[in-house]
Amino acid sequence: MTDGPEPPRSGSALAATALFLAALAVRALPWRHVFDADRVVFAGNDAWYHVRRAMFALAHFPAHVDVDPFLAWPDGSRAIWPPAFDALVAAAAAPAWALAGLRGAETAAAWVPPVLGALGVVALHAAVRALDGARAALVAGALACVLGGLTWYAQVGFVDHHVAVSALAAAMLGAAVRVALDDSLAHVAALSALEALALVTWPGALLHVALVELGLLAGRLVGPRDAQPVESARWLRRRALGHALAAALVAPFCTAAPPEPWSAWSATVLSHFQPWAFAAAAAHAALASAVFARTAEGARGARTAAAAGIALAVAGASAVVFPELLRAGGEAWQWLARAEDFQHVVAESEPLFERRGALALAPALARLSALGLLLPALVAAYARDARARRDAPARAVVLVFAVGAALAAVAQKRFAGEAALAVAWLAGWAAVRAADALAPALGRGRARAAVGAALLALAAPALAPHARAAREAFDAAAPLPAPQQSRRNLLAAADWLRAEAGIAPDAPPSLDAPGFGVLAPWEHGHALLYAAALPVVASNFGDDVGPRGFALHREYFRSAEPRAVRLLDRLRARFVVVESLTSDDRERLGPRTMLRRLAEPALVGLAHHRLRFATPARAARAGVASYRVFERVAGATIEGSAPPGESVEATLVATPGATRVVARARADASGRFAIAVAQASDDAGGAAWQLRAGALEGRVVVAARAVREGGRVEAPPLAVARRDAQP
């Protein structure tokens, strides 16, 4: 079963400890990007909502966030995530909350991902050691320390459930291997508990559960041909018990109605589907065991046919009793295949060999290194070796998981962590076999050195990012990368919003929503919701929650101002946050769309969008995004007299971002003009609006109250501009 005599337990514990510390150190390298003097800047986008739920639980224990009025404003919604991961983050941060309040708890929460990631490496090491020996486990663990698929979500500050899912996948894989080797009740119960925990951490872990269960089934099919019917029946009874236990464990978390638009039987969110799936599997195994116990020895084909018939009968009966199940399968496939509009713009849903819609190798190398490209060959070699071994059923679990995880990662790179587990396992096994094969010719030491050098070369794409992060971690003068500076610019906008709403900087998350919300591009929703403590119309959940508001937020950015203002009122959105545009973005947007008009260097013709905040000019840098905050106002009207038919232009340099604001109108036949403006003189440090009509000029002060309430301001008579005498 293993590659030689096992070392003492003390040696295994020492190796596991060393791997844990090494994995933790690698995942802690970006610490400078996360910890500022006065705040924690969480990585990624989803982290902010996970932290909101965790901090709310600490501040309002035993209450928790269920329907959140801050999501999908103004309707509110449940999140699509189950509660387990956020409860874990809250529990881990509870001591820091007691000692140092909100900021201390945020700091503790930021360290949860690297700790979970390191525990996942230890779990993989234990799983490989149980099947392929200590040397393969050590190599696999070392690779798992650095492979990007396992470090991305596990880096410090990246508080995302996917790090827990990868760790649970490693633990499930190890538990399934142990069940295949020895299906004792203890091993069966451990696997069932891990499967249930995985699903209440993320419903997408249904894929992981399916892979380990298919692996166990495949192992049974490739097992000894002389397996007795009684033994097969006993194995099925154990699986029935395991499935029943998993159903009982997951069912209490599946009672709440899923968020709109998901059905009550959706496989994509926690619903009736998960307990049904386990219950159906338990029923199938129990019925099959009864049939197997009554079949004659040698009738393997008959038993296989009976098992297939029972599976069809259980599925058919379920579809008759619960017809909604047919929709559940379609929803799951639609999500996995990215057959919906929103999934096409989610970065982690991109295929592994694609970047921005174009075929690319770089993402795969970054997540799996060059070893990932060798995975088909590693799978074939492992399968060939497994055929003649008594532990073939356990190896079938590894093979099925490896193939399934690789295919899932090719479809969506969010599964690259699970594919990295397979790459590390099989590469570790292959390295030991290669070293043993070369030892007679090169000697043991040289063989291991040669194999180690080859592994280093193949893993180089995974090592390079960590080397850069290590240099930055210990270079205080190194500038923050552009994405990190962009995030801080966004947080500056959030801080302004929070202060404008009168919310204290250290106030914990609340469910008491004010009477207005914030409309911003969906990809900034979670960060703004947490940092500004204000409701958002659209968030990183996209149309998975509140599809009505998500559609209206998109319509707003594509509309001209009259229509856009009506949408803001319909959504009760007082503020709008926009991000600077690239030249490509500007070209694909129409000149009258709100997204382009609000992001232009000069603000022209805005009648109801008052610029209140802009990223300071000193924060501008190549590749760094800047942000503006606008307030929906009634707008003021500057009225006055000018030559009939003359064009009148009003300009103001607003203090936020030193932004030039322009509004225009034409005098009518009687010589009167009316210019709609959204900026007050207060927004320019008290400066007046400058008016120009041909050779005539004038100045007019517009009070903030007039802008807010729709006041009319009479401009003094325009006069010929004075020119200073020439020397």
First and final CA of the chain: distance in angstroms?
A: 99
- Inter-helix orientation angle 84-110/185-201, to 10°: 70
Give pLDDT, residue 156.
97
Give pLDDT, residue 4.
46
**Separation of alpha carbons 610 and 701, rounded Å:** 16
pLDDT in tens, 217-226: 888 877 655 4
Which of helix, strand or coil describes residue 358?
A: strand
pLDDT higher than threshold 50 for residue 475: yes
The counts of H helices and E strands in the chain are 26, 17
98 and 58 in contact (C-beta within 8 Å)?
no
pLDDT higher than threshold 70 for residue 348: yes
Q: Looking at residues 361-373, what average pLDDT do you find? A: 94
In sequence order, which residues have a C-beta less than 8 Å from that of residue 638 and are 6 or more positions away?
A: 650, 663, 674, 675, 677, 689, 691, 700, 702, 713, 715
Q: Which of 693, 607, 611, 709 is nearest to 650 (CA)?
A: 693
pLDDT higher than threshold 70 for residue 321: yes
Name beta bridge partners: 647.
666
Which of helix, strand or coil describes residue 70?
A: coil
pLDDT higher than threshold 70 for residue 437: yes
- Total Cβ atoms within 10 A of residue 708: 16
pLDDT in tens, 608-617: 999 999 998 6
From residue 142, how far is each of 239, 434, 454 by CA, in Å?
A: 33, 17, 14
Give the residue with greater pLDDT, 294 vs 317: 317
Name beta bridge partners: 663.
650
Taking only Cα atoms into account, the Rg of the chain, rounded to an integer number of angstroms, comes to 31
Give pLDDT, residue 255.
85
pLDDT higher than threshold 50 for residue 466: yes
**Separation of alpha carbons 237 and 287, rounded Å:** 9
Give the residue with greater pLDDT, 92 vs 312: 92
Q: Cα-flanking dihedrals φ and ψ of residue 672, to 5°?
A: -105, 145
**Separation of alpha carbons 272 and 251, rounded Å:** 8
pLDDT higher than threshold 60 for residue 136: yes
pLDDT higher than threshold 50 for residue 341: yes
**Separation of alpha carbons 637 and 523, rounded Å:** 35
Give pLDDT, residue 553.
95
Looking from the CA of 300 toward its CB, the CA atoms found within 13 Å total 11
How much is the mean pLDDT over the chain? 90
**Separation of alpha carbons 610 and 600, rounded Å:** 14
How much of the chain, in percent, has pLDDT values that exceed 90?
Answer: 72
From residue 615, how far is each of 111, 152, 496, 526, 704 by CA, in Å?
A: 29, 29, 10, 19, 21
One-letter identity of residue 200: V
Question: Would strands 573-579 and 627-632 be described as parallel, antiparallel, or unpaired?
Answer: antiparallel
Question: Chain centroid to CA 333: how far?
Answer: 19
89 and 161 in contact (C-beta within 8 Å)?
no
**Separation of alpha carbons 662 and 677, rounded Å:** 8
pLDDT higher than threshold 60 for residue 151: yes
**Separation of alpha carbons 590 and 544, rounded Å:** 28
Q: Which of 226, 159, 116, 250 is nearest to 530 (CA)?
A: 159
| Report for 391-395, 439-443, 622-626, 646-650: range of highest mean pLDDT | 646-650
**Separation of alpha carbons 292 and 427, rounded Å:** 39
Give pLDDT, residue 15.
94
The tokens describing 629, both together, are 């905050």
Q: Looking at residues 690-702, what average pLDDT do you find? A: 95
- Total Cβ atoms within 10 A of residue 396: 25
The tokens describing 612, both together, are 């209140």
Q: Cα-flanking dihedrals φ and ψ of residue 208, to 5°?
A: -65, -40
Helix boundaries (H) for 28-79: 31-34, 47-59
Burial string for 339-358 (b: 16+ CB within 10 Å, else e) reads eeebbeebebbbbbeeeeee
pLDDT in tens, 92-101: 999 999 999 9
**Separation of alpha carbons 100 and 97, rounded Å:** 5
Q: Cα-flanking dihedrals φ and ψ of residue 481, to 5°?
A: -55, 155
- Reported as a pLDDT band with limits 50, 70 and 90, residue 584 is confident
pTM: 0.92
Q: Cα-flanking dihedrals φ and ψ of residue 8, to 5°?
A: -65, 160
Q: Cα-flanking dihedrals φ and ψ of residue 137, to 5°?
A: -65, -40
From residue 211, how far is each of 281, 458, 507, 586 by CA, in Å?
A: 14, 27, 44, 45
Give the residue with greater pLDDT, 326 vs 402: 402
Which of helix, strand or coil describes residue 611?
A: strand
pLDDT in tens, 519-555: 999 999 999 999 999 999 999 999 888 889 999 999 9
**Separation of alpha carbons 221 and 462, rounded Å:** 37
- Reported as a pLDDT band with limits 50, 70 and 90, residue 726 is very low
pLDDT higher than threshold 50 for residue 725: no
Give the residue with greater pLDDT, 343 vs 389: 389
Q: Which of 549, 509, 512, 544 is nearest to 530 (CA)?
A: 509
From residue 238, how far is each of 183, 244, 281, 395, 517 by CA, in Å?
A: 7, 10, 12, 20, 53
One-letter identity of residue 487: R
One-letter identity of residue 46: D
Give pLDDT, residue 296.
54
- Reported as a pLDDT band with limits 50, 70 and 90, residue 724 is low
The tokens describing 150, both together, are 């396992």
Question: Chain centroid to CA 230: how far?
Answer: 47
Give pLDDT, residue 347.
74
**Separation of alpha carbons 447 and 284, rounded Å:** 50
594 and 637 in contact (C-beta within 8 Å)?
no
Give pLDDT, residue 326.
73
**Separation of alpha carbons 16 and 478, rounded Å:** 34
Q: Looking at residues 353-364, what average pLDDT do you find? A: 87
- Reported as a pLDDT band with limits 50, 70 and 90, residue 314 is confident
pLDDT higher than threshold 70 for residue 703: yes
470-479, 481-490, 621-630, 658-667: which range is least confident on average? 470-479
- Reported as a pLDDT band with limits 50, 70 and 90, residue 331 is low
Q: Which of 542, 169, 210, 494 is nearest to 348 (CA)?
A: 542
Give pLDDT, residue 355.
84
670 and 640 in contact (C-beta within 8 Å)?
no
**Separation of alpha carbons 22 and 15, rounded Å:** 10
- Reported as a pLDDT band with limits 50, 70 and 90, residue 727 is very low
Q: Which of 486, 484, 460 is nearest to 620 (CA)?
A: 486
Burial of 458 (0-12, 13-18, 19+ CB in 10 A): middle
pLDDT in tens, 557-580: 999 999 999 999 999 999 999 999
**Separation of alpha carbons 441 and 451, rounded Å:** 13
Q: Looking at residues 230-245, what average pLDDT do you find? A: 89
